[in-house]
């Protein structure tokens, strides 16, 4: 993980307050985060950089952004955002091995998977993911399709769209944005048994690095 460094460039701005200049943005191993104490990410080279909220001057939120990294051959695991409501776009800063991707559940039909096109995944998200089998290539290949996100590219909406709209999300009964199961899958997934018994050597390891922009659903109403 030493390959990825963070620097607070705001510290170089003479007009930045002292507390802003002192801010640090470390990558923390996901298995150490409070919400990951169920053990699902133990032993994974998966890291999060806590982000920040961006607001207009009147306090209305524009988005929340944070950064993630994932090591070669690993998965961030499938999830569908049932506990928080936002419309999320991922921007890939570095596709370490060239094949890092968002793999989204395709248990039903959907039109198109090309980048920069509208994508609607009509997934039945009530069926639970097999949390053991999802660590295997056979299961992931059988249940999902790959959308490669190259370096300096972003993907379009992965949330379910309301009928006859451009990108307006469907909303669940608990007021969360309706998502299919989806996960970031790193290059080389299926090459190693997960979780790995020991980390890859520095010469073998490459990381995918991406930003997650979480917008309020009100931002996508067309």
33-80: pLDDT as tens digits: 999 999 999 999 999 998 889 999 999 999 999 999 999 999 999 999
Provide the pLDDT for residue 110.
30
* Cα(28)–Cα(58) distance, integer angstroms: 32
Confidence of residue 6 (pLDDT cuts 50, 70, 90): confident
How much is the pTM?
0.85
Q: Which residues of 55-78 are buried (b: 16+ CB within 10 A; e: fewer)?
A: eeeeeeeebbbebbbbbbbbbbbb
CA-based nearest residue to 183, from 154, 144, 133: 144
Give the residue-averaged pLDDT of 152-162. Answer: 89
Give the residue-averaged pLDDT of 178-193. Answer: 90
> Looking at the predicted structure, is the pLDDT value of residue 109 above 50?
no
Q: What's the gap between Cα 45 and its chain centre?
A: 14
Share of the chain above pLDDT 90, in %: 56
Q: What DSSP letter does each residue of 68-109 carry, written as one string?
A: EEEETT-B---B--SSS--EEEEEEEE-TTS--EEEEE-SS-
For the chain, what are the domain ranges? 9-219
For the domain made up of 9-219, the CATH class stated in words is mainly beta
Share of the chain above pLDDT 70, in %: 86
Give the residue-averaged pLDDT of 89-112. Answer: 62
Confidence of residue 102 (pLDDT cuts 50, 70, 90): low
Give the residue-averaged pLDDT of 93-98. Answer: 79
Q: What is the mean pLDDT of the chain?
A: 84
């Amino acid at each position: 993980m030493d390959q990825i460094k963070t620097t607070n460039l705001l510290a170089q701005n003479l007009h930045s307050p002292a507390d802003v200049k002192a801010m640090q943005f470390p990558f923390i191993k996901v298995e150490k985060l409070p919400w990951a104490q169920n053990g699902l990410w133990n032993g994974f080279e998966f890291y999060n950089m806590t982000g920040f909220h961006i607001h207009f001057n009147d306090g209305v939120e524009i988005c929340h952004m944070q950064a993630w990294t994932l090591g070669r051959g690993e998965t961030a695991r499938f999830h569908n955002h049932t506990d928080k409501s936002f419309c999320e776009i991922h921007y890939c800063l570095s596709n370490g091995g060239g094949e890092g991707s968002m793999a989204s559940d395709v248990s039903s039909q959907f039109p198109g998977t090309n980048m920069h096109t509208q994508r609607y995944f009509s997934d039945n998200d009530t069926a639970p993911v097999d949390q053991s089998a999802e660590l295997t290539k056979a299961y992931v290949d059988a249940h999902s399709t790959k959308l490669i996100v190259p370096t300096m590219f972003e993907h379009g909406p992965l949330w379910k769209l309301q009928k006859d709209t451009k990108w307006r999300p469907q909303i669940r009964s608990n007021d969360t944005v309706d998502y299919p199961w989806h996960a970031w899958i790193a290059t080389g997934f299926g090459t190693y048994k997960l979780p790995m018994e020991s980390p890859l050597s520095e010469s073998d390891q490459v990381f995918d690095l991406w930003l997650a922009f979480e917008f309020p659903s009100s931002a996508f109403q067309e």
